Amino acid sequence: MEIKSISIIVAMQQEANPIISALGLVYSGKISEQLPMLNYEGITNGVNVNLVTNGICPTYGIDLVASQPSILSTYVCVEKRKPSLIINAGTAGGFKKYGANIGDVYLGSPHVCFHDRRINLPGFSEYGMGFYTTYPCEVMAKKMALKTGVVSTGNSLDFSDDDKRVMDTYKGSVKDMEAAAVGWVANLLQIPFIAVKAITDIVDGSTPTKDEFLNNLELASENLAAQLAKIVCFLSTNDLH
């Protein structure tokens, strides 16, 4: 597959800023005048790249995190930019039982899921989890020495026993708040999709998630940006298969 353009969907501005700098992107305004999502664009290694942040909530004045804003960002971005490939980039929690360390960067593979859409009805349980396919990235992961695993999405920062039970069924090794939402839109529209996540906190560790997240957000975002710049360059010159 020839990749001519890449759209990167990022929830938080603090996550996005190092990526914008690393890729040399320039702010070009809102992706849609009616919405808070912001657009940055440029050319990296001959590939047109744009990055969309979810923007700031007009009611609460904070970054628009979690699934609903990410769905909207992705759909509007696709309508406006028609990308060859979508990347959801951001920070996430990892698990020591699967070997995660603070600052690790993961590629989502072979799919992304939801862990907090529990619909205990015939057929709806599978729909709730989703299993949205990511574009094959094993070759890239091996060449770039990146970890891979199932990225699992929920709309809460905490981690309940029910979340754990669901994630254990598909060995979810990265916990975030956006990937499966972006993956759903990408799969519906049949656009190749990759999730790239940097670890801020160890979910099954002893430190409270909110403390670890805040303490490690800058480090994880810098690692994310460095690896994402390499990923975009790799994608511009290689087939992922």
* Catalytic residue positions, numbered: 15, 201
Q: What share of residues in the chain are helix, strand, coil (percent, to 5)?
A: 35, 30, 35
List C-alpha distances in Å: 238 to 51, 86, 143, 147, 210: 21, 16, 11, 19, 38
Q: Are 173 and 106 in contact (CB under 8 A)?
A: yes
What are the C-alpha distances in Å from 168 to residues 66, 73, 115, 172, 216? 21, 29, 10, 6, 25
DSSP letter string, 149-187: EEEEE-S-SS--HHHHHHHHHTTEEEEESSHHHHHHHHH
- Give CA angle at 146 (138, 191), nearest 5°: 50
Provide the β-strand partners of residue 152.
Answer: 113, 175
CA distance linking residue 109 with residue 132, whole number of Å: 10
